[in-house]
């Protein structure tokens, strides 16, 4: 219940963050494209307006100095009402007088003037800047308004205008396209956010569940020996006058449970440190053959004492870079198991050889073996094939998890298979 609401909250948070990130990226992207399209569309128009403005001002300057010269073929018109030459058919020139009236309606064309500019008013708030205006709420013009320099005419302001309805249509279509794309994008990004947040949460949920299971198992494993010790101590307290010799069994059992507890806590600590990636390997050169011989020596003695054969076949003659104490721990786990899960007259063997760029260790026994269907679980934490039997042998199902971690940390592999005749073989491969 608690987990579910936390995961739900976290999932929503991830979803919201993803959605926000997508939206910000898309908005920036659209704004850049939109402003780029708009400025590109108006660039040509604006250039035309500016070049025309320059021409007009140049002409006016000529008039101002009193050296107006009509171009050949043009009538000699008095300078104060001469028709302006307009080499650009796209540009409409509006001449405004001081009172805000258009005084060149004939030049514009009477019909054109009456249709579009009759009600148009002079707006001098924005001079010398290119701006967009809309006439009759339908016709869009790009224009520049500037003061007239010619003192010899009645013109106070000149306004150069270009109709940009075509450009506006393109922009309007583009806005429509961006809006449709935004809607599609929002739908897509919501779906993508849901999928992504689910994907992001999956490993978190899995590792949370694993961690919870680990803590539950660990508490369970810790509780059993503690209960046994508590019971035994309480029983001894009921007869305080008895001698130690009389309570020998209780004391021995309590001691063995204490050892179990101590081993369990140290295994749990190893795995907890492995999980938090806290433990680093201390690598050094290890001569494989002599290392194995040293590790196996005490096991050979124990095997002899239990009437089991112990054989060694180590002729690799290689040196590897490894953490010697971790490698030792690995062999102890595998050899302990080999001893635990074999009976009298069984045999245990250790082989080391090189294969490609790897060194291979095989630890095999002719013991009770592992059922095929259980092989995939044996590296799981707290997995024991036979829980009752493992309790007798002192196993808690953590050894092989630690072995797996040690091998993986050395960038190697570990696998288990049936021994040729009977029993189990563990094959460890480490890089040379």
Q: Which residues bind ligand ADP (CB under 6 A)?
A: 333, 337-338, 341, 365, 367-370, 378, 383-385, 390, 395-401, 424
Q: Specify which residues 91 forms β-bridges with.
A: 162
Give the shortest CB-333-to-ligand ADP separation in angstroms: 6
Farthest CA pair distance, the chain: 143
Half-sphere exposure of 103 (CA within 13 A, CB side): 17
Sheet hosting strand 358-365, strand order edge to edge = 309-314, 347-355, 358-365, 424-431, 413-418
CA distances from 182 to 143, 172, 301 (A): 32, 15, 77
Considering the complex, state which of residue 135 and residue 272 has its C-beta at the smaller distance from ligand ADP.
Answer: 272
Residue 327 or 400: the one with the smaller Cβ distance to ligand ADP is: 400
Task: Name residue, tokens 């249509």.
Answer: 169
Using left for φ > 0, alpha for ψ between -120 and 50, and beta otherwise, residue 28 falls in alpha
Q: Compute the least distance from the CB of residue 423 to ligand ADP, in Å.
A: 7
Is 225 or 395 the residue whose CB approaches ligand ADP more closely? 395
> Residue 263 CB, nearest distance to ligand ADP (Å)?
9
Shortest Cβ 202–ligand ADP spacing (Å)? 27
> Of 400 and 430, which has the nearer Cβ to ligand ADP?
400
- Please report, for the chain, how many H helices and E strands are present, in that order: 9, 11
> What backbone phi and psi angles, to 5 degrees, belong to 286?
-125, 125
In the complex, the smallest distance separating the C-beta of residue 313 from ligand ADP, rounded to whole angstroms, is 18
Nearest to ligand ADP of 270, 401 (CB atom): 401
SS3 312: strand
Measured from each CB, the residue nearest to ligand ADP is 395
Sign of CA dihedral 18, 23, 26, 31: negative
Task: Name the residue nearer to ligand ADP (CB basis): 153 or 346.
Answer: 346
CB 159 within 8 A of CB 144: yes
The least CB distance from residue 422 to ligand ADP, in Å, is 11
């Amino acid at each position: 219940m608690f987990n579910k609401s936390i995961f739900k909250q976290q999932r929503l948070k991830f979803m919201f963050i993803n959605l926000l990130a997508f939206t910000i990226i898309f908005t920036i992207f659209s704004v850049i494209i939109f402003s780029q399209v708009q400025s590109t569309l108006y660039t040509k128009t604006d250039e035309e307006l500016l070049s025309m403005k320059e021409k007009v001002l140049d002409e006016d300057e000529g008039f101002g100095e009193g050296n107006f010269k009509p171009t050949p073929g043009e009538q000699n018109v008095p300078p104060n009402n001469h028709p302006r030459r307009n080499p650009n058919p796209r540009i409409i020139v509006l001449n405004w007088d001081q009172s805000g009236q258009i005084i060149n309606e004939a030049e514009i064309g009477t019909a054109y003037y009456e249709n579009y500019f009759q009600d148009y008013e002079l707006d001098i708030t924005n001079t010398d800047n290119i701006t967009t205006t809309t006439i009759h709420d339908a016709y869009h013009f790009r224009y520049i308004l500037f003061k007239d320099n010619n003192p010899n005419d009645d013109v106070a302001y000149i306004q150069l205008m270009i109709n940009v309805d075509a450009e506006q249509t393109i922009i309007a279509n583009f806005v429509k396209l961006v809006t449709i794309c935004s809607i599609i994008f929002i739908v897509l990004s919501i779906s993508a956010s849901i999928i992504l947040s689910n994907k992001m949460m999956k490993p978190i949920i899995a590792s949370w569940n694993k961690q919870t299971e680990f803590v539950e198992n660990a508490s369970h494993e810790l509780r059993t020996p503690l209960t046994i010790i508590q019971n035994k101590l309480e029983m001894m307290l009921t007869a305080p006058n008895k001698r130690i010799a009389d309570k020998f069994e209780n004391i021995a059992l309590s001691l063995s449970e204490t050892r179990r507890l101590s081993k369990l806590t140290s295994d749990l600590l190893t795995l907890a440190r492995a999980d938090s990636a806290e433990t680093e390997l201390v690598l050094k050169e290890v001569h494989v053959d002599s290392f194995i011989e040293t590790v196996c020596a005490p096991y050979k003695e124990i095997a002899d004492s239990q009437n089991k054969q112990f054989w060694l076949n180590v002729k690799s003659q290689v040196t590897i870079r490894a953490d010697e104490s971790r490698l030792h721990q690995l062999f102890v786990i595998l050899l302990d198991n080999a001893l635990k899960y074999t009976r009298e007259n069984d045999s245990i063997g250790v082989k080391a050889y090189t294969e490609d760029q790897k060194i291979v260790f095989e630890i095999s026994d002719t013991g009770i073996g592992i059922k095929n269907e259980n092989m995939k679980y044996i590296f799981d934490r707290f997995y024991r094939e036979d829980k009752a039997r493992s309790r007798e042998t002192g196993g808690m199902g953590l050894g092989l998890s630690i072995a797996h971690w040690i091998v993986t940390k050395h960038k190697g592999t570990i696998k288990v298979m049936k021994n040729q005749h009977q029993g189990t073989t563990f094959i460890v491969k480490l890089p040379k």
